[in-house]
């Protein structure tokens, strides 16, 4: 929508990003209008705080993630990056503050219903050691109701067709990470949460991360990538923040 000149766009919008544009209106006349574009927010956190035992992990943390954004969050060891991701995934409740994911309030029963829209890549892969790579993906595929052929397509896509029948405990960390990324593609999420996605991946496989992110963005989603150093992700991220002492800067 167009706002008349002089309108404070920040007063108008509560949460949506605003794009300012200077438009030509009428022949020979120039007027300045503000073009306000409402971009849906997929995730919001307002003064969020999390304590684990007697330790405050996150405090007064506010965050917004709009559709189409790829947010990089970096920080030192123990800063709470993984905890933040788990809060965003609705796996960890907030002790203070509030938040929403896909408009569902964190901590409400509705928050659990949006979990299938979220893809979380944790430090350790969610694979069953005794099962083969194909069996692992097929298990998740069955739960998701995906067609059987999709599993082989994904294994091929992540470069593991030849190792598909190898047990997970007989594969390297990098291979397991690739399969875990394939699992995310199987889920087809709209919110992607990646915790140190580069860990264990060789340079050839790093482009997989870009592929997964692109897949989510193509579904009008967004992503948060957490890493010690997000400069490696400069091409991927649209915004970078630093998490330190429980808060974002």
Q: Which residues bind other proteins (CB under 8 A)?
A: 51-59, 75-80, 83, 89, 91-92, 112-113, 115-116, 118-120, 122-128, 130-131, 135, 139-140, 142-145, 167, 183, 187, 244-246
CB of 190 vs other proteins, minimal distance in Å: 13
Looking at beta carbons only, is 115 or 198 nearer to other proteins? 115
CB of 248 vs other proteins, minimal distance in Å: 13
Measured between alpha carbons, how far is 172 from 79 in angstroms, rounded to an integer?
28
* Residue 55: CB atoms within 10 Å: 11
* Close Cβ partners of 54 (under 8 Å, ≥ 6 residues apart): none
* Close Cβ partners of 18 (under 8 Å, ≥ 6 residues apart): 9, 10, 12, 34, 36, 37
Could you tell me the two tokens for 184? 């995310």
Distances (CA, A) of 61 to 33, 50, 52, 147, 208: 33, 9, 16, 41, 30
CB of 72 vs other proteins, minimal distance in Å: 18
CB of 41 vs other proteins, minimal distance in Å: 21
Looking at beta carbons only, is 39 or 122 nearer to other proteins? 122
Looking at beta carbons only, is 13 or 228 nearer to other proteins? 228
Looking at beta carbons only, is 88 or 233 nearer to other proteins? 88
């Amino acid at each position: 929508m167009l706002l008349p000149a002089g309108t404070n766009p920040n007063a108008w919008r509560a949460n949506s990003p605003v794009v300012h544009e200077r438009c030509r209106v009428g022949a020979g006349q120039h007027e300045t209008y503000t073009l306000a574009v409402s971009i849906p927010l997929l995730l919001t956190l307002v003064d969020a705080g999390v304590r684990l035992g007697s330790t405050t992990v996150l405090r007064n943390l506010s965050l917004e993630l709009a559709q189409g954004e790829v947010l990089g969050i970096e920080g030192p060891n123990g800063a709470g990056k993984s905890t933040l991701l788990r809060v965003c995934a609705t796996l960890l409740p907030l002790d203070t503050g509030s938040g929403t994911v896909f408009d569902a309030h964190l901590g409400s029963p509705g928050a659990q219903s949006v979990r299938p829209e979220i893809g979380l890549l944790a430090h350790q892969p969610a694979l069953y050691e005794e099962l083969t790579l194909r069996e692992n993906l097929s298990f998740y595929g069955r739960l998701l109701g995906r067609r059987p052929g999709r599993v082989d397509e994904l294994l091929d896509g992540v470069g593991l067709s030849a190792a598909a029948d190898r047990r997970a405990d007989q594969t390297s960390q990098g291979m397991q990470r690739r399969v875990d990324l394939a699992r995310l593609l199987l889920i087809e999420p709209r919110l992607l949460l990646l915790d140190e996605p580069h860990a264990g991946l060789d340079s050839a496989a790093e482009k997989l991360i870009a592929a997964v992110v692109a897949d989510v963005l193509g579904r009008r989603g967004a992503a948060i990538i957490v890493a010690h150093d997000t400069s490696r992700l400069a091409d991927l991220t649209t915004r970078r923040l630093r998490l330190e002492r429980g808060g974002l800067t």
